[in-house]
Chains A and B, each alone.
Chain A
Amino acid sequence: NAGVTQTPKFRILKIGQSMTLQCTQDMNHNYMYWYRQDPGMGLKLIYYSVGAGITDKGEVPNGYNVSRSTTEDFPLRLELAAPSQTSVYFCASSKPWGEMSFGYTFGSGTRLTVV
């Protein structure tokens, strides 16, 4: 089992460009999340989804968009990239909150630099 797969692992964008960070999980988890980690900081929630067709904003959603058309995929779209979006992005998935063995599985991250 691959778990949570994020692509690409690294990317350099120019200011104003757009891109989509891909996230796929094969554990049939209903819940998926996007976090960003700035240097020396903890992880901050961008968006999350509790199921296909349902998304909700987290702490830092500005400049990002998400969609959840399938259980497996939760892509994160950056429109008009800005230097402030330089960060490491982590995707995660989980079973519904409160279920036995509830926990979060994280992808390996995407390191994005906007220049």
Chain B
Amino acid sequence: AQKVTQAQTEISVVEKEDVTLDCVYETRDTTYYLFWYKQPPSGELVFLIRRNSFDEQNEISGRYSWNFQKSTSSFNFTITASQVVDSAVYFCALSESPPLVFGKGTRLSVIA
């Protein structure tokens, strides 16, 4: 069965600090997708990244970076030089078949 664990329930950082959000997943399949979504206070789900299981390259997009390690079943998300606008709930999700399975999310608060 597929499972996603986001052990950090809430994180609070001061603006300009770097922060890493952890995501550990469980799956028996060799083919799967991993996602990160952002849910700002307004409530919508904003897609951040998709990674398939055959692509372990790390990715950087502006201040965002993702570290995918199959050996540890982790797909961690780092925000560099955090900003107040990064305050949101972040969800990691796994798909080994059509439905997406979400972690419980990490609430990030960035304090000015």
Contact = CB atoms under 8 A, between A and B. Distances in A.
Question: B-side binding surface: helix, strand, loop or mixed?
Answer: loop
The secondary-structure label for the interface of chain A is strand
B43 A108 contact: yes
B103 interface: yes
Contacts of B98: 31, 33, 48, 50, 94, 96-97
Contacts of A108: 43-44
Given A42-B105, A104-B35, A33 B100 contact: yes
Nearest to A90: B45
Q: Report, as a range, how many residues of chain B touch the other chain.
A: 10 to 19
Contact of A109 (B43, B50, B100): B43
A42 B102 contact: yes
A52 interface: no
B102 A48 contact: no
A16 interface: no
Contacts of A45: 99-101
A88 B43 contact: yes
B95 to A, nearest CB: 7
B55 to A, nearest CB: 13
B97 interface: yes
Interface of B: 31, 33, 35, 43-45, 47, 50, 91, 95, 97-105
Interface of A: 31, 33, 35, 41-45, 48, 50, 58, 88, 90, 92, 94, 96-98, 102-104, 106, 108-109, 111
